[in-house]
Structure formats: C-alpha cells, structure tokens
Chain A
Amino acid sequence: MSKMTYAFPQSLSETRTHYCAGCGHGIVHKLIAQVLDELNIREKTLLVAPVGCSVLAYKYLNVDGLEAAHGRAPAVATGLKRVQKDKIVLSYQGDGDLLAIGAGETIHAANRGEDITVIFLNNAIYGMTGGQMAPTTMEGQKTLTSPQGRDIADVGSAMRACELIDTLEAPYYIERCSVHDVKNVNRTKNAIKRAIKYQVEGRGYSFVEILSMCPTNWGLDPVKSAKWIEEDMVPYYPLKKFRDKGEEA
C-alpha cells in the first residue's frame, strides 16, 4: 500500500490562477490552504483580499471573504471580526497596500491587538500596476518610478514592516519568512500555521511577512528572482521571529 504524501488542499480552489510564472502569491495561497486544512477551519475562515495582484485571492481559496479598498484591509478585517467573533479573519496584503496607502490602518490594527492575522507579501514592488516603486523597494532597485534606482537620499530607505510593528505592545506574533526556496517555503508554512493557530486560540494580532518573487516586474527570470531575494533582500530583511508571546509564556 502506498502512503499518501501529498493531496490537493481542500481549501484551495482548482481554478487556474492569473499569477505570472515564478510569482510567490500562488505559493503563499497554497500554504494558507494547507494550514486551513490542517487546522480544519476552512468553514470558519473569512478572507479579506487587498487591492493588488492578489485582489482575486478569493477565487483561489475556498473560503468566504470580501475585497477591501486599497490599503484598508486591516480596517475591514477589524469590522468583520468584531461582528463574526468566532470566525478566523485573514487580511492578505501586498507591500504598497500594507505600508504605503494602508500604513495607518496597518499600524493601528496591530496596535489595538486586533484579533486577526495579517499575511503580508513583500515583493519590493507594485505588481498590479506594472512595477512602480514600493515602500519596500530596495536601495538602488530600478522600477518604473525609480528608473535610476531607488535614491534613499531622495525618497527614504526601504521600510521594514516587522520591525515597525515590533515597536508596538499589543501584537502577539510577528515573523518574517520567505518563499524563495523549499526550506524557506516550509518555514513560511509553519509561521502561517502558528499565526493562525494563535487567532483560533483568541490570542490577538498575528503578523507574517513573506519575501516573495515578482519576476515579471523585477525583469529577472524565476531562478534569478529567487537568488535576488537570497542575496539582496534577506540581508536587509532578516528572516526571523520577532515576537512570539506564545513561546514566551
């Protein structure tokens, strides 16, 4: 008898995604789906999708949800969670959404210790609008709106979300991961699982940042994109657990 080593997650829809080859969004969707399956919470999970490449995330995950305005996902998630208190509310966001237009909503939901899980996909660029500079764009990184490379003397340096949120008292769990190789994909899954499990236990705000490839807008092939994360992004965005109040306890 053969042992089942992989099954298509129930929480993942069989629809073909619209994501580009080598994009990290699809990987992260799948990890979320696996976690929802493993925790057996698909039926009580509510997804707030952002404005960005993942605006259609609801088509790919077999859960209830709604679409927030650009940057407002944590506020929408707040309202939803405060009505559907026994449900699991996920706010899935890109870097423009989370750190530029939605910086206020991000900080305040975290500061309230809102009982939601924020999954933050950091691809260092605005994917959906075709590759403009994001708050997380690296120094010297060329984008449509930083054609000479990000000049930090002019526009400031790349923002680190985990470090910012780590200055606040309320958040329960903060971790940065990456999906550029298998080892890190597995680590990311564990982080997502822990973050969501804490919400299931009603412990408050959990935040997972995930470094992710955007080959199309970086102008690199998928292999080089993964390498760019490892060599350029990871040194600036350290992969680590910033806070885990569950472990401290």
Chain B
Amino acid sequence: MEEKILMKGNDAMAEAAIIAGCSHYFGYPITPQNEVPAYFAKRLPQVGGTFLQAESELAAISMVMGASAGGARVMTSTSSPGMSLKQEGISYMAGAKLPCVIANIMRGGPGLGGIAGSQADYFQATRGGGNGDYQTIVLAPGNVQELADLTILAFDLADKYRIPVIILGDGYLGQMSEPLVLPKPSGKTFEKPWAITGAKDRDPQFIASMRLTPENALEQLNLELQETYRVIRENEVITECYQCDDADTVLVAYGTAARIANKAVIKLREQGINAGLLRPKTLWPFPSEILRKITNDKKKVLTVEMSAGQMHEDVLLACDDKNKVDFYGRLGGALPKVDEIIERVKSYE
C-alpha cells in the first residue's frame, strides 16, 4: 500500500506541482494561500527551480507569461483580490496560447472582503475573467488528495491545449490538513516548438498579442480559440456522482460546499430520503449534458454553494425543467449548514 502522509491543502498542491515538473513559481502573498509561496520558496531551489516573490499580482502573472513563453512549466497562486489583478495577464496568455497553472484559493468578497473560504469567484473563473472572448479550464478539487491529483492534471491540460488552467479551491480546502498519497508524475511530455528560445537555425518567432493585419487576423485567432474550447468541452469534463441513480433530489455542489452536501446526503439517506450528489470537478467545461441527463427524471435539483448562486446559473442552463431547480447558498465566507440542506430537501417531500 502506498504511504499516506498528512499535508495541508496548499502544501500538497505546491508539492504536486513540483512533481508535475513545475520549475518556476511567481506570486504575491495573500491569505489564505500564503503556504503556497512559502512552500515553493523552500522546495523549488532544492530541485533546481526558481521561486520569485513578485511586486504585485500584475507583475507575477506577467512573469508567468514570460516563463511560459520561454517553455517552462510555471505556476502562480493567489486569493480572490489578487485574482482580479491577474486577469490582465490571463487574458494576454489566453490570446497568446500560453500554458500556465493559476490557483485561486478563494476568499469572500467583494473588495478586500474577508479571509474565510468562499466560492464567490465562480463567474470570474468560468467566464474568462478578463477582456475578450476566451475561456480557461477550471478545476474544482473537493479534498486534499484531489487538490494534488488535479494539480498534476492541470499542467498536462495546460500544455496539451496551450491554455491557462485555473485550480479553483477555497480557503477551507487550502487550509485543511488531510492524509494523501502524493501523486506520481503523469509521464506525459509536450513539445513546445512555439517557445521563445532564440532564432538559431530557424526563422525568428514571436508571440504576439495585437493582431491588426491581415484584416481578419483577430477573428481568425478567436475562431481557433473557440475550436480549442469545443474540443475541450467534448473531452475534458470530469464529474462525480454520489448516489444519484435512485435519488429523488439531486444536490449539485463543488469543492468545500460539496463536502457539506455529501454529509447531508448521507444523513438524508439515514432518514429514508433518497438524495444524491452530483459534483463537478471541472467547472469549465461544465458537465451540462451529464447534469441534464441525471436530473431529467428527478423530482428536485438543489444547488448548494458558498456564493449567491453563481454555479446555479449553469445548473439552470443545463436543466430542462427550471421549475424543479432550487438554490441554497451562504455568502461572504459562511459555510452551508448540513441541517439547513436537510430541512430544504425535506420541504420537497
């Protein structure tokens, strides 16, 4: 049996990134993800990598962009207010088809908000977030093991599709300690012939952002991006169903909210009420088709979130019968309560 070790979510994510071959990290401190830069600062030099504390998130994401253009596996992490600043660079990287991994260990907002975990950046993460018609892949781990495993996947997806990948966790997940088996490297390698390495024995190449000529160059780029997004939508949806088959009510939740929803399902079952849980592990691409199929013959669907109902909009879009879709959420870093979920589900009986 593989050895389990106890690790904080933030540390496990950083270690997994190093296992994935992340050689460069650039970041700016912000709670509740401060363990991440501290971990990289200690570990990266041990494996020949580079850690650099940037002067801001604007600078950090631009450093990520430079490192990515140079061909490295590179990561940054932050929490919500910092994620707003990173949108500039993420938009540039999406347009330039540069891979990178960005963790947002969310906290409550708006503004400086609080430091408790939250899921209020769902819109920002799944709708591009910066300017322009673009998407990023958004992974939503629900426990420390998964946080580590999805970090390995994040680097592969980023390189495979040449796209920024967001690990969307929250402060509770980042701060919690759980036993895990450290993941193995995927073993996948990706050629990067587009990297900026010097025009030796080939023509100069340039990673441009502005596209003015020929006339339709920018539309062409956008069409290419959209084609990539189509392929991702078709191939990369990950979701987990718990006791959905015979459920009358299906809860839909991700991350920390899903842990609580899961507990509610167990308790409801103990009381003879058939509830289930559908847990998206990719928020973009969102498991719309799976959700539609699973919920069509159910009595009720309840989205549980630590936001005012951001993922709920995607649930509504996916479900054919909007009338049976309900929402329960807690805001500003508050946690959903198992009892409140149970009460709500019982009210459907």
Contact = CB atoms under 8 A, between A and B. Distances in A.
Interface string A105-128: 101100000000000000000000
A131 interface: no
A56 B217 CA distance: 15
Interface string B62-100: 111111111110100000000000001100100010000
B59 A64 contact: no
Contacts of B196: 46, 64-66, 80, 84
B59 A48 contact: no
Interface in B41-59: 50, 52, 54-56, 58-59
B206 A58 contact: yes
B317 interface: no
B89 A83 contact: no
Interface string B297-324: 0000000000000000000000000000
A64 B292 CA distance: 48
A75 B70 CA distance: 13
B197 interface: yes
Contact of B66 (A43, A48, A55, A63): A48
A56 B208 CA distance: 9
B198 A64 contact: yes
Contacts of A107: 55
A56 B206 CA distance: 10
A80 B69 contact: yes
A67 B74 CA distance: 18
B198 A43 contact: yes
Contacts of B72: 83
A65 B74 contact: no
Given A42-B199, A108-B59, A78 B205 contact: no
Contacts of B62: 68-69, 72, 75-76, 79, 105
Main secondary structure, interface of B, reads: mixed
A66 B198 CA distance: 11
Contacts of A56: 210
Nearest to B93: A69
Nearest to B58: A72
Contact of A64 (B60, B92, B204): B204
A82 interface: yes
B98 to A, nearest CB: 9
A83 B199 contact: no
Interface string A39-79: 00011111010010001101101111111110010011111
Contact of A84 (B60, B64, B65, B70): B70
Contacts of A65: 196, 204, 206-207
Main secondary structure, interface of A, reads: helix
Interface range for A: 35 or more
B24 interface: yes
Most chain B C-beta atoms within 10 Å of own C-beta, residue among A63, A80, A105, A108: A80
Nearest to B203: A62
A56 B50 CA distance: 30
Contact of A66 (B50, B52, B58, B66): B66
B66 A83 contact: yes
Contact of A43 (B26, B50, B200): B200
Interface in B124-157: none
A79 B73 CA distance: 11
A87 B198 contact: yes
Interface in B171-218: 196-201, 204-210
Interface of A: 42-46, 48, 51, 55-56, 58-59, 61-69, 72, 75-84, 87, 104-105, 107-108
Interface of B: 23-24, 26, 50, 52, 54-56, 58-60, 62-72, 74, 88-89, 92, 96, 196-201, 204-210
Q: Which 6 pairs from chain A and chain B are nearest by CB?
A: A79-B66, A83-B70, A79-B63, A75-B62, A80-B66, A72-B62
28 contacts: A43-B198, A43-B201, A46-B70, A46-B198, A56-B210, A64-B199, A64-B204, A68-B65, A75-B58, A75-B60, A76-B62, A76-B65, A76-B66, A77-B66, A79-B63, A79-B64, A80-B66, A80-B196, A81-B66, A82-B24, A82-B63, A82-B66, A83-B67, A83-B74, A84-B71, A84-B197, A107-B55, A108-B54
